[in-house]
Each structure stands twice: as C-alpha cells, then as structure tokens.
Amino acid sequence: MKTNFDAEYDVVVIGGGGSGLSTAVQAAKNGLTCAVLEKEDKTGGSSSFAEGHAAFESDEQEKRGIKVSKTDAFNAYMNYSHWRANPSLVSRFVENAATTISKMRDEVGAVYEDVNITAPDQPGELVTWHLPQGEVARVIELLEADANRRGVDLFMSTSATKILKENGHIIGVKAIDADGEEVNLGAKAVVVGTGGYACNPEMINKYGKYNIGESLINAGGPGNTGDGIRMVLEVGGIENANVGTRLLFPLMRDKTITSHTNAAGFQPYLWVNKYGRRFVNEIVGLNFGDAGDVVASLPGAMYWSVLSQEAIRHLVEVGNEVGLGIYVHNYEKLINLPVEIKADAADNKRTNVFVADTIEELASKIEINPDVLKIEVDEYNKYCEAKQDKKFHKPAKYLYTIKEGPFYAIKMETGIMVTMGALEIDEYIRALDSKNNPIPGLYVVGCDAGGIYGESYTLPVPGSANGFALTSGWLAADDISKRIKSGELF
C-alpha cells in the first residue's frame, strides 16, 4: 500500500545537533529541500556542551605555526584504536576536517580564537582543538540561523518514531509533532544524527562492559536516548563492532563541571577505592577519558580523592595540574576551593565530601577501615618524602604529602558526556546492512555513527567528536546530492 505523506522533502534529518544541522545547511546549499526533526525544544544536543572541534592542516593551524599533518592524525586514530577503527572512514574524516573549519568560518560566520590541546602533560596529544568564539554552542546558533535563511524546515519538539522503507529504499520518516499528532514525511534520503545513547541506561548496560547505566552521571544532552540507533536497526542497519565506545570521566554528583571541589577531585594526587586502597598511578587523570574508563571499572564505579592542606595550598597558590577543557583551565588557581570544599563538607545533605582532623576519623566517615587507609597514607607519604613512587611510579612533581589537616575526601563517580560508534557506516556516511551493502537513502552521522574509534574515545586528538559530527554532516549531504542528481536516490 502506498504511503501517504503530509509533506515531502529531498532530505529529512533526524536530530538537530551539530551533525544534523551541518547536514541540513549543506543540503540546502546544494539546492535540496530539507527538514530537521528535533525532539527537544531547541537545537544543539550534546554539541552545545562542546568547546571545540578537531581539524588537521587547517589554515587556522597554519597561521598560528601549528603543524599537525593529516598523516599524524590518521596514525593517531588508528594506533589509539589498535587499528579497530575503519581506515577508510578515518581517512575521509581526516582529509576533510580542515574544510569544515573553512565552512564554519567563511560560510556560517564562526570566529576561531585559538587552536590548542586539553592537557599539556599528556604525552602525544595533537594540537587539533579549534576553539570558536562562544564555543560550539555559538556554531550551533550560526548553523541554525543559516538553515533558516536557506529555507530548511526546523521542527522542534518533534520526535521521529520510525524510518519508512519500501522495496529496499528509504522513503521517509514517521514522527510525532509538537501537537502530539502523527505525521509522515516523505524523503529521498534520511540522515540519522540523534547523538547516541548516553541517557539510556538499558543501552549503556547492553553495549558497555560495566553494568553501571543507572549510576552514570550524565553531563551531556538529555535527548540522547538511542532513538536513531533503534530506528536504523529496525530497517536493516547493523551495529558497529565498537558500539560500546563512550566518553567517560570522573565527576562529582550534584556538582557543575566548573566546580573547584570537583576539579580538586580529579587532580593526580592520592586516589583510593571504596575499600581504602590505592589502585592506580593517578596521572591517568591527565587524560580524563582514560580516567573515566578506570573509574567505571572500580567497585561501585567510584573513588575517593584524599586531600591534605599541602595539596589544597598548592592548588590555590600555584594552580592545578590539569583542568577540564575551558571550564577549568589547565594550571588555573583554584581560588574558590577552600571556601567551596569547606561548605560542601558542612552540608549534611551531601554524601560525597567529608572533612576530618585525622586520617582515621576521615576513614570512618567514608566507611573505610581506618587501619587500611592509615597504612595507605603512611606508605604514600614515604614515597612523597623520597620523591619516588615505588608502587605506581608517579612522577615526583605530583607527590604531595598527606600530613597537615584538616583532611578532605572527595567522592568521584563516573560521568558520561556522549556515546560513540554505534552503527556501521561506510566512508560515504551511508548505513550498511548485514551484507555490508549500503541501505539506499539512509545515512548516519555524528555520535550515532561507528568507525572512528576503538574501545575508547581518542582524547589525544582533542575535538574529535565534534570534528567528526560537523564533518560527517556536510559529507553526507554532498553524497546525497550527488546520488539524487544521478537518479540513484529518488
């Protein structure tokens, strides 16, 4: 039976984040009619929380004297993934990411203030983080304005529920509009960019290594519930081998990412697990993605950061060892820390910051055997005094004794920003079926797409998620335009 459509477009995009808007703007620029369906009441998704995006051999890097070749970038992705990433897709992204910078700047109006890295002491990090004025949230505003100017129909509070397929071809989308009415939109191509499944505990547990979906602290967009993934699978798409890739990081519950107490909690000082035992070389915290993976694997998916006055003075007077993007800058003096952490510890409703005059008393407050924690602290102090960590070989510059109280314990849990790598696509951004053939008219962009990463987010290439989101969007639109023009999509 022929489907009756309420409206028909060349392209329907599911998701109004960075990847979806990039698709829509490029499609309209290419002369195609386009609609964007966004289930939230505003555009942006998790892209609104990002600071910058990655590119290689861009003119913004060149004018700052920064040299990161496309070969460097390709090798970084492939080596970090242990060659589990898709070489063809990685190459396509690497070759085109610099064009994304030009498009966002020259065609949309973004202004790039800096190109930088996230952690100066992180070995091998590439200088790829292109930081626009107003962060990526400003790029989203500019893309939305450009989409409106070019005649793209943006439907907010409109949830796609089903991708429509007929005779092997994608023909449109079924959705529920802002008034709660069901609508059918016809399309020659459908592009899925719904941001992954970070807000779906069931999917987190299904695809991830650890059964922690219900306890994860979500720091990204609330709409990332895996809708697009489900819909693609329903029409014959398949999961990428690295479907469980997530960007995790240590985070305090009920604190903002600008909090100085939270920042103190991920500094590379003394971390102990829920049983009071030191478990890692804490410089893993210089790569917050690696640190997030470590925390997720711990009992209770958490650790306690134990701080003395020696460490607190250093953080206030000298500065931190590592920041959190632009929210807490690298080497920033945590001047709010003494007042904030004291107030946190005094808050009877808070269960993740405690203070005590002795280590034994602190251990009791955080429900750890006092003898166990005392032994760990005494051993750690010996390493600090000798300037040699014989247990985990942490560099001496991060060794601060724990002798001067009052002492604080900060509970750091597992936060999640986004998931990545869910669905199998080819280098043309087309969704693939179980026989590795493209599904005609179906494309997957941004964090719904797989192939750029292995098991972990490639943090040594900062800005990867948004770089791929913005780049995959316009690449998909160009491929759709070419195939509509040739008559392949109809």
The Cα–Cα gap between 450 and 480 comes to 19
How high is the pLDDT of residue 220?
Answer: 85
400 close to 311: Cβ distance less than 8 angstroms: yes
Which residues are within 8 A (CB) of 118 and not within 5 positions of it... i.e. 6 or more apart? 125, 129, 288, 323, 325, 330, 459, 462
How high is the pLDDT of residue 421?
Answer: 87
Which pLDDT tens digit goes with each residue over 187-196? Answer: 999 999 999 9
Q: Is the dihedral of CA 280, 318, 263, 418 positive or negative?
A: negative
Judge whether 7-244+421-486 and 249-416 match in fold: no
Mean pLDDT of 130-137: 96
Which pLDDT tens digit goes with each residue over 201-227? Answer: 999 999 988 899 999 999 888 899 999
How high is the pLDDT of residue 326?
Answer: 82
Which pLDDT tens digit goes with each residue over 241-260? Answer: 999 899 999 999 999 999 99
The Cα–Cα gap between 472 and 423 comes to 14
152: helix, strand or coil:
coil
Q: Looking at the predicted structure, is the pLDDT value of residue 344 above 90? A: yes
93 close to 464: Cβ distance less than 8 angstroms: no
Q: Give which of 234, 209, 191 is closest to 449, Cα–Cα.
A: 191
Q: Whole-number mean pLDDT of the chain?
A: 96
**What is each CA distance from 5 to 245, 283, 321, in whole angstroms?**
37, 56, 57
The Cα–Cα gap between 129 and 51 comes to 9
Q: Looking at the predicted structure, is the pLDDT value of residue 89 above 80? A: yes
**Domain boundaries defined on the chain:** 7-244+421-486, 249-416
Which pLDDT tens digit goes with each residue over 315-326? Answer: 999 999 999 888
Q: Looking at the predicted structure, is the pLDDT value of residue 375 above 90? A: yes
Token pair belonging to 169: 């071809």
Q: Looking at the predicted structure, is the pLDDT value of residue 122 above 80? A: no
How high is the pLDDT of residue 1?
Answer: 60
The Cα–Cα gap between 103 and 393 comes to 46
The Cα–Cα gap between 68 and 54 comes to 11
Which pLDDT tens digit goes with each residue over 428-469? Answer: 999 999 999 999 999 999 999 999 999 889 989 999 999 999
Mean pLDDT of 108-122: 91
Domain 7-244+421-486 - what CATH class? Answer: alpha beta
Mean pLDDT of 269-284: 97
Query: Hey, which residues does 444 pair with through a beta bridge?
Result: 192
Q: What is the CATH number of domain 249-416?
A: 3.90.700.10
The Cα–Cα gap between 288 and 333 comes to 19
How high is the pLDDT of residue 221?
Answer: 83
88 close to 433: Cβ distance less than 8 angstroms: no
